Structure 1
Amino acid sequence: MKKFASLLFVSILGGVISIGAYKFFSETPEKVEQASVFEQQTYVPTNFVNTPTTNAATNGIDFTVAAEKTIHAVVHVKNKMTKVAPRSIWDLYNGTGRPQTQIGSGSGVIITPDGYIVTNNHVIKESNEIQVTLNNNKNYIATLVGTDSNMDIALLKIEADEELPYISFGDSDNAKIGEWVLAVGNPFNLTSTVTAGIISAKGRDLNEGDKLSQSFIQTDAAVNPGNSGGALVNTNGELIGINTAISSQTGSYIGYSFAVPSNIAQKIVNDLLEFGDVQKGLLGVSGGSLNSVVAERLSIDETEGFYVDKVFEDSGADKAGIVKGDIIKKLDDVKISKFSDLSGYLSAKRPGDVVNVMVLRDDDFETFAVTLVKEEIANSVNLMNMTLENLSKEDAEKLEINYGLKVTDNNNPQLYKELGITPGYVLVEVNGKKVKSAEALKGFINSYGEDQVKILAFISPKGQYERFIFR
């Protein structure tokens, strides 16, 4: 009997231990897995929580006034483009095809009560018709007043029966890094969308090494496709930038967006209204930004500023006394740390404006009053012994095109005698790309050389498209 009781006790104890071990080893991993999933679910959304807005609310910053001032002055811009697209290899070779209509969209900002609207050049580029929709759903057909492709700004005009809500320009030079801003636009065709963030940086150049240097305001306010041309405003509701680009590998917002400063945009608008084109004031120097590598190569100690490598004869800088080797540290009261600081400030100036330039020379600071001079724009260019000039309005209307260069003289025997390219022909494409101006073609030749010209396309005086391939 005692042996039976002992065996029963041992059996029961063994069963308890077995069940306990099973519970321990089989259920513990399940609990760990559930905890892991739970943590993942709470972690992922935090990447998308707009923490700046929450913090702003707790600190007493109110965005509602700025949003109310701006939301009705930001419009939806639709760009209707009709292009002739080749449908076969023969269409491609002959330059023929069927017309196809494409619709692009973006945003715009009303800047006057009588209907002037600022947007991006890339929003309305190559448009046949521009439609503007207000926040109250009223539609208008807009006319294009002018553009600046370098800074990606365009000016539109609509005719309305009543005064329109508008946003006043602020001073982008006074905007501070860390300052709260709102981005207002129409992302993904969603009208009247407002997002918040801070200014992350100023004087950003997205084309480092490019001759056309830009100077953007960088923010972390969420900007997506469709926001282009929309408003970047401060907490007072003042326009301090035109949203233009995002930094992304996917095409959508992942952290940073960029805006053309309002001082530059306002200057472009005033130039287009007063002169019909953009007036560019030149300092008259060339050089580059300083950093530790450049400083070591030049055997200097400075790592910030713009190093003057050349001063152009009879320029404003030359007449004021600036010389090679000077380091530009300030323009008026604006600190110059890199080239985009300099180019951005000068982009808001006109020929004839006087700029106080502070330079570092031989360990001493000196200030020179420099009168900016007008940039000379080429009206004609020579290509392959042909003289070409910018297209006149009369020729453009006659041929129903808005780009190209007219052949005024041809001393190229092959092009003249064999191919029949006589004066009156209009060059419209080089290597498959449209020729917008003599200045643009001159820049291409200077950068790449005539030997890189492989394909030329012309429109004859009779309006026929002719394409020639050189081997």
Structure 2
Amino acid sequence: MNTRTTAYASAGALRAFLTSIMILAAAMVSVTPVAARGAPDSFADLVEKLSPAVVNISTVQTIRGRSGRRVPDLPEGVPFGDLWDQFRDRMEDDQEPREARSLGSGFIVDATGIVITNNHVVEDADEITVTTADGDDFPATVVGRDALSDIAVLKIEHENGDRFPFVKWGDSDDERIGDWVIAIGNPFGQAGTVTAGIISARNRSINNSNDVEFLQTDASINRGNSGGPLFNMKGEVIGVNTAIFSPTGGNVGIGFAIPSNDASRVTAELVEHGKVRRGWLGVGIQPMTEEFAESLGIEQEEGAIVTRVEPNSPADSAGVREGDIIVKWDGKTVEDSNRLSILVKRTEIGKPVKVIVIRQGERVALDVTTGELPASLIPGSGEDENGQPGRPDRSERELVEGMELAPLNDTLRRRYDIGEDVEGVAVLRVARRAPAAREGIRPGTVILRVNQRTVDNPAEIVEIIEAAKEEGRERVLFLVNYRGTTAHVSLKLMEDSGEEE
């Protein structure tokens, strides 16, 4: 009896010991850290393979000079007549058209010479030159450009019909936060510059864009990188470098790229149709909030609440009503109004879509046939009387008091990170020795008022300044906004045009 009991006790102790060992081993396995993929030993092989397809883009823009009164001649023999003649000649030279040059980046996606870049790189260009990695220059024509997505498609050709090296699109949806990427471009005119980093975030919205959810990267991106490719480690283009966030204007490790899935879709539309066709629902919307949900007595904090239904729109035909909360579009969850806008625009025109709305606390299914977004609702579309994409009126730009000025548009808002609530005239360039430069006015500044008058275009500023000169004033009062800060600037008027450097 005692012997049997002792044996049972020994067996029980052994089982307990073995169980403890197994639990300890499992715990050790469970806390073992996940092995992360290390950085590549070198990017050199990849860069050597990809660089031939990356190009530099240079543009020339003709800017109309200031219009002004002709400086009169002095009678013969008047003292200092030679100096007066020099002053008059400089004033008249300032009225001649000038050329502005800028640089950007791009990449070839087809052996026939299809080049991708940003719309804001070529938007106002009169001449576009593409320089390949081997130093050859090619005049480029615009196949199509799209202000809403900031994508432009160019075409270059070899005189002898030779093919071009090209790169392929990747699937940006497959890329994860933390994946390695490399950027190749033309920052500050330094051709073939290569930088590396990781994908820092996804689905970023910048400048209130409701057409693109950007990739964020810490690969160094600077001025001149715009339009260049962002590659994954397979050598595929997974983004088009477009913008940076920077309080200083230089790289601080926060760059943004248009995902390749968006860029390739827009490219295909531009190549096939010369414009981008987008889906349209025909509603005014705003995001659902906790306060709205509480007011309606429902537990629904996601979705887009309908504030307006356009007559004869797809939404009107489907029975969408004001006050409906759209929570699903074609099987996809609608988190907010921005997400709905993106989903609708990406939907094929004419496609029947199942839409789920919450109406008076009940879920209602509606069948919507997606329409085509009218050109009049696309910022910067600028279609002409034939319905073809037109170009901005060059006469809207002015050289005023040593500043190149232009009306605000979506491209300039994106380029200089100007908020939607800021309205006025944008400063594109400032002559180094102009009074405006000494007062701290710089590219990206928005002129809101001049002598307490609201201004919407450069011509209004010219008119106010000319009136001030006729009254004998030496200064005008500007109200300006720069990076969200508003201030008054007393600007001394130039006695002559000065020279830009």
TM normalised by structure 2 equals 0.60
2:241: which partner in 1? 243
1:261: which partner in 2? 259
Counterpart Cα distance in 2 of 1:355 and 1:67: 43
Spell out the pairing of 1:19-58 with structure 2 (5 A cutoff): 58=38
The SS at the match of 2:335 is coil
Counterpart Cα distance in 2 of 1:265 and 1:230: 12
Task: Check whether the contact 1:115–1:164 (CA below 8 A) recurs between aligned residues.
Answer: yes
Range with bigger deviation, 241-250 or 332-341? 332-341
Shift in alpha-carbon separation, 1:214–1:81, aligned structure 2, 3 A: same
Offset, 1:311: 3.4
Shift in alpha-carbon separation, 1:131–1:87, aligned structure 2, 3 A: same
Counterpart Cα distance in 1 of 2:236 and 2:365: 33
Task: Check whether the contact 1:214–1:343 (CA below 8 A) recurs between aligned residues.
Answer: no
The SS at the match of 1:225 is coil
- Deviation string 1:313-341 (CA, Å, 9 cap, x unpaired) is 44333444544444444444654323333
Task: Check whether the contact 1:220–1:257 (CA below 8 A) recurs between aligned residues.
Answer: yes
Structure 2 runs not aligned, ≥5 long: 1-34, 72-90, 378-382, 399-404, 410-419, 425-452, 468-501
Q: Percent identity?
A: 37
- Deviation string 1:205-248 (CA, Å, 9 cap, x unpaired) is 2223x7x6543222222211111001123222222221111011
Task: Check whether the contact 1:203–1:344 (CA below 8 A) recurs between aligned residues.
Answer: no
Q: Does 1:77 align with 2:90?
A: no
Spell out the pairing of 1:338-353 with structure 2 (5 A cutoff): 338-353=336-351
- Deviation string 1:292-327 (CA, Å, 9 cap, x unpaired) is 455456554333332333333443334445444444
* Match of residue 143, structure 1, among 138, 141, 144: 141
Spell out the pairing of 1:82-161 with structure 2 (5 A cutoff): 82-86=62-66, 97-160=95-158, 161=161
1:287: which partner in 2? 285
Structure 1 runs not aligned, ≥5 long: 1-54, 380-388, 405-426, 437-443, 458-465
Shift in alpha-carbon separation, 1:97–1:153, aligned structure 2, 3 A: same
Task: Check whether the contact 1:205–1:340 (CA below 8 A) recurs between aligned residues.
Answer: no
1:170: which partner in 2? 170
Shift in alpha-carbon separation, 1:112–1:363, aligned structure 2, 3 A: farther
- Deviation string 1:384-423 (CA, Å, 9 cap, x unpaired) is xxxxx945699x9xxxx9545xxxxxxxxxxxxxxxxxxx
1:372: which partner in 2? 370
The SS at the match of 2:224 is coil
Q: Does 1:201 align with 2:201?
A: yes
Offset, 1:278: 2.1
The SS at the match of 2:199 is strand
Offset, 1:429: 4.4
Spell out the pairing of 1:382-421 with structure 2 (5 A cutoff): 390=384, 402-404=391-393
Higher helix proportion: 1
- Deviation string 1:259-281 (CA, Å, 9 cap, x unpaired) is 22223322322222222222222
Counterpart Cα distance in 2 of 1:183 and 1:295: 44
Offset, 1:258: 1.2
Counterpart Cα distance in 2 of 1:56 and 1:62: 17
1:310: which partner in 2? 308
| RMSD, aligned α-carbons | 4.4
- Deviation string 1:14-60 (CA, Å, 9 cap, x unpaired) is xxxxxxxxxxxxxxxxxxxxxxxxxxxxxxxxxxxxxxxxx987366
Offset, 1:191: 2.0
Shift in alpha-carbon separation, 1:186–1:114, aligned structure 2, 3 A: same
* Match of residue 221, structure 2, among 214, 220, 223: 223
2:268: which partner in 1? 270
Counterpart Cα distance in 1 of 2:397 and 2:127: 26
Task: Check whether the contact 1:355–1:371 (CA below 8 A) recurs between aligned residues.
Answer: yes
Shift in alpha-carbon separation, 1:452–1:126, aligned structure 2, 3 A: same
The residue type paired with residue 171 of structure 2 is D
Task: Check whether the contact 2:280–2:345 (CA below 8 A) recurs between aligned residues.
Answer: no
1:185: which partner in 2? 185
The residue type paired with residue 141 of structure 2 is T
Shift in alpha-carbon separation, 1:104–1:430, aligned structure 2, 3 A: closer
The SS at the match of 1:98 is coil
The residue type paired with residue 219 of structure 1 is T
The SS at the match of 2:97 is strand
Task: Check whether the contact 2:149–2:211 (CA below 8 A) recurs between aligned residues.
Answer: no
- Deviation string 1:154-208 (CA, Å, 9 cap, x unpaired) is 1110002322122222333444444433322221222223323333333322223
Shift in alpha-carbon separation, 1:134–1:81, aligned structure 2, 3 A: same
Task: Check whether the contact 2:231–2:239 (CA below 8 A) recurs between aligned residues.
Answer: yes
Offset, 1:150: 2.0
Counterpart Cα distance in 2 of 1:309 and 1:221: 41
Task: Check whether the contact 1:119–1:242 (CA below 8 A) recurs between aligned residues.
Answer: yes
The SS at the match of 2:242 is strand
Task: Check whether the contact 2:117–2:153 (CA below 8 A) recurs between aligned residues.
Answer: yes
Shift in alpha-carbon separation, 1:86–1:287, aligned structure 2, 3 A: same
Offset, 1:367: 5.7
Counterpart Cα distance in 1 of 2:362 and 2:108: 47
Counterpart Cα distance in 2 of 1:319 and 1:84: 48
1:9: which partner in 2? none
The residue type paired with residue 185 of structure 2 is G
Question: How many equivalent pairs are there?
Answer: 361
The residue type paired with residue 74 of structure 1 is V
Task: Check whether the contact 1:403–1:435 (CA below 8 A) recurs between aligned residues.
Answer: no
Counterpart Cα distance in 1 of 2:133 and 2:52: 5
Offset, 1:137: 1.8
Shift in alpha-carbon separation, 1:154–1:292, aligned structure 2, 3 A: same
Shift in alpha-carbon separation, 1:362–1:109, aligned structure 2, 3 A: farther
The residue type paired with residue 267 of structure 2 is V
Counterpart Cα distance in 1 of 2:42 and 2:299: 46
Spell out the pairing of 1:405-444 with structure 2 (5 A cutoff): 429=396, 433=406
Offset, 1:117: 0.7
